[in-house]
Amino acid sequence: MKKEMEVKVFNTDKRIRLGIWGLGRGMSFYRTCKFLNIDVVAGCDYNEHMRTNFLSQNPGAFATADADEFLKQDFNAVVLATFCPSHADDAIKCMQAGKHVLSEVTAFFTMAEGVKLVEEVEKRKLVYNLAENYPFTAANMWLANRWKEGLFGELMYAEYEYVHECRSLCYTYIDGVPVKPGHTVHNWRSWLNYHYYCTHSLGPVMVITGTRPTMVETFPVRQQIAGYLGRKGEGMGTMTPSLISMSNGGVVRNLMGATTNDTHNQRIWGTLGAYESGSDGVNLRLGASGGSPKMQINPKWEGLGELAATTGHGGGDFWTLYYFAREIFTGEKGPFDIYGASDVTIPGIQALRSSLEDGKPMEVPDFRKKADRDRYRSDDWQLKRYDVKRGVFGGAKLTDKASNFSTTMKDLISSSLIYRAYADWKKVQSAIAKPENFQPVATKLLDGYDKLVTAYKDAREIVDAYPKSDGARVMSQMLELGEEDKVLSAGFLPALKKEVAALKKKFGEGIVKLKDFKGSVLLPDKTQISAVKYPGRNIALSALQYTDCFIDVRPRFTGKVKQDGLIYARGFFTAKNAGAANLRIGADGPFKVFVHGKEVGCNPKATNPITSYLMTIPVTWKKGKNEIVLAMCTNSGKARGFMAESIVDG
């Protein structure tokens, strides 16, 4: 097997000197750079903790909070991951400084900004790409190749979804750190309408079928879930479906939003065959009729896909950076140059307008054409922005508790939703197909009860101090959702303890999260994970921290010059009785698992997120203590940690 450093994608010795503007999402591209002749030499972010993290992974690089100072540095390309509504202005600023631009989605916030951006790219003759990554999963790229071969015929109709409830990100940065100052909210996730974020669902259809949108219409959804600042479906806390007419005459239902069921289902009907992907895997119906044979398939990576899969985000980040670098080196364009970027961005703007005009159809102009651009050159219409700097208390004098609103809101969201899952599943407990599955839901609430009480009490103090504020409104919604009075009543905790004890007695240990692990320091081990051995006695171990739902290994390497290496972790599960069970375990870096000193599982391709790389391993527990050892690579400093739980039937 080749080592990673030996992989060379481009047949050239030329290098791209890259600056990253926006060190939250922007750092997700870091692991891919070494494969693509890219050297990361500069970073820019106003958050000090993100600059510190960047420098720890790029010793010797330049880092600043000043954009002008950043753009004066000696590099020729920028990954632009600043605030979403600022992308167009920031991209233009980069190009005026002579830099190629790979911009995070979306490309622009208003139609006039789009015209200005397109013409700046045409004028500068620099490379501009949009980092839309959802078309570049193994399944979508396999499907695109078969579509080009004619397997499915012409597009008739498609349904693609990006339904992703990310309530807490209204009050934290992308890395989960609460927004500062603490009385404020996230710059754009706190108020942006989900229609704007249309690219992750529309982008794959465009790339697969080779079509572009031409018209869009939508009706408003005026209901929303709790905890979002918008009212009556104005912000991200609602559903935003649209119907889009495509250039070949086909129609796409494009669905985004935040609701009570995250989904990423995909369905396409062609004139010769159909495709669907969801919780039942990937299925095709081939044979040109509705009753033709339907079979499940296993789409595999083609070309550089196996390499892409090792770099995170399902391989998507690799491909966006690959197409960007390829165009810089060779001039060959990828799917989302400035015109493709416009095609996938405009439907979101126009869909929101359509919903505000009760479903009026809106055109999707083709910004390749000057005549189309001229119609929108002065079109500055946009959604009204929330006054983030003023914050959620309207400029009122802040108490200590109010100054920590973002932290309390993060904890309140987490705690109230844990309770709500327990309360609602309890209502239908008798109908659960596997009754033992209710046990971990109840146990999770019991384990987090102290944190819940603190969050509820702090939130109530803030609500009472600022009753008419936006902060009080969203906190009140979450307290109502979390049934504040009931949960804080004197009898609730004793009853919950009794209930959890009864469930354990009835179903056995059930699902037990393993939280107590000790870990090694970062070991400079270059051995492939498949060849890593059980640790010797000479390796010192110290306690690792359990954070939210995983064991955090980042303190072992954060701030160090070298962040790539191996970490061992050892923990124990104490079984009341001997017997068969399952160990569910996974990490966001290549990992190997040992039970009682013997190897029982290995995944050399694991990367972020942890939940996508969980293994279920049959084990036989001994009565008493059972040793579990995990060896994991730190994924060039991108790994966060690992999860482990024992599953024992009653």
Torsion angles phi and psi, residue 553, rounded to 5: -100, -5
Please, which pLDDT band fits residue 235 given cuts at 50, 70 and 90? Answer: confident
pLDDT of 1 strictly over 60:
no
What is the pLDDT, as a whole number, of residue 466?
98
pLDDT of 585 strictly over 90:
yes
Q: Say which CATH topology domain 4-130 has.
A: Rossmann fold (3.40.50)
| pLDDT, mean of residues 489-514 | 91
pLDDT of 344 strictly over 70:
yes
Q: Say which CATH topology domain 134-301+336-376 has.
A: Dihydrodipicolinate Reductase; domain 2 (3.30.360)
Strand partners, 101: 78, 128
Helices (H) and strands (E) in the chain, counts: 18, 27
Show Cβ contacts of residue 417 under 8 Å, excluding neighbours closer than 6 positions.
481, 482
Please, which pLDDT band fits residue 559 given cuts at 50, 70 and 90? Answer: low
Task: List where CATH 3.40.50.720 sits in the chain.
Answer: 4-130
What is the pLDDT, as a whole number, of residue 6?
59
pLDDT of 4 strictly over 50:
no
pLDDT of 37 strictly over 80:
yes
Give residue-wise pLDDT tens across range 297-306.
999 899 898 8
What is the pLDDT, as a whole number, of residue 53?
83
Task: List where CATH 2.60.120.260 sits in the chain.
Answer: 511-648
pTM: 0.87
Choice among 345-354, 465-474, 530-539 with the minimum mean pLDDT: 530-539
pLDDT of 649 strictly over 80:
no
**What is the rounded distance in angstroms from the CA atom of residue 141 to the CA atom of residue 299?**
9
Pure H helices in 379-448: 400-403, 405-427, 438-447
pLDDT of 617 strictly over 70:
yes
**What is the rounded distance in angstroms from the CA atom of residue 387 to the CA atom of residue 385?**
6
Please, which pLDDT band fits residue 342 given cuts at 50, 70 and 90? Answer: very high
| pLDDT, mean of residues 534-550 | 89
Give residue-wise pLDDT tens across range 396-436.
999 999 999 999 999 999 999 999 999 999 999 999 999 98
| pLDDT, mean of residues 211-226 | 96
What is the pLDDT, as a whole number, of residue 349?
98
pLDDT of 560 strictly over 80:
no
Q: Say which CATH topology domain 511-648 has.
A: Jelly Rolls (2.60.120)
| pLDDT, mean of residues 466-473 | 97
What is the pLDDT, as a whole number, of residue 650?
52
Please, which pLDDT band fits residue 2 given cuts at 50, 70 and 90? Answer: very low
**Which has more confidence, 55 or 427?**
427
Tokens of 123: 């004028």
HSE at residue 239, side-chain half, CA atoms within 13 A, is: 15
Tokens of 6: 């030996």
Among candidates 396, 353, 83, which has minimal Cα distance to 240?
A: 353
pLDDT of 473 strictly over 70:
yes
Written as one string, the DSSP assignment of 256-271 is: EE-SSS-B--EEEEES
Task: List where CATH 3.30.360.10 sits in the chain.
Answer: 134-301+336-376
In terms of Cβ atoms closer than 10 Å to its own Cβ (0-12, 13-18, 19+), residue 337 is: middle
Q: Please report, as a single letter, which amino acid is at residue 212.
A: R
Tokens of 643: 């999860």
Show Cβ contacts of residue 498 under 8 Å, excluding neighbours closer than 6 positions.
none
pLDDT of 624 strictly over 60:
yes
pLDDT of 241 strictly over 90:
yes
Tokens of 175: 């890395």
| Residue labelled with tokens 């579990």 | 628
**Which has more confidence, 25 or 645?**
645
| pLDDT, mean of residues 122-126 | 94
Please, which pLDDT band fits residue 27 given cuts at 50, 70 and 90? Answer: confident
Share of the chain above pLDDT 70, in %: 98
What is the pLDDT, as a whole number, of residue 478?
98
Hey, what long-range contacts does 479-487 have (CB within 8 A, 24 or more apart)?
Answer: 479/412, 479/416, 480/226, 481/226, 481/227, 481/416, 481/417, 481/420, 482/412, 482/415, 482/416, 482/417, 482/419, 482/420, 482/452, 482/456, 483/419, 483/420, 483/423, 484/456, 484/460, 487/419, 487/452, 487/456
As a whole number, the mean pLDDT across the chain is 93
pLDDT of 307 strictly over 90:
no
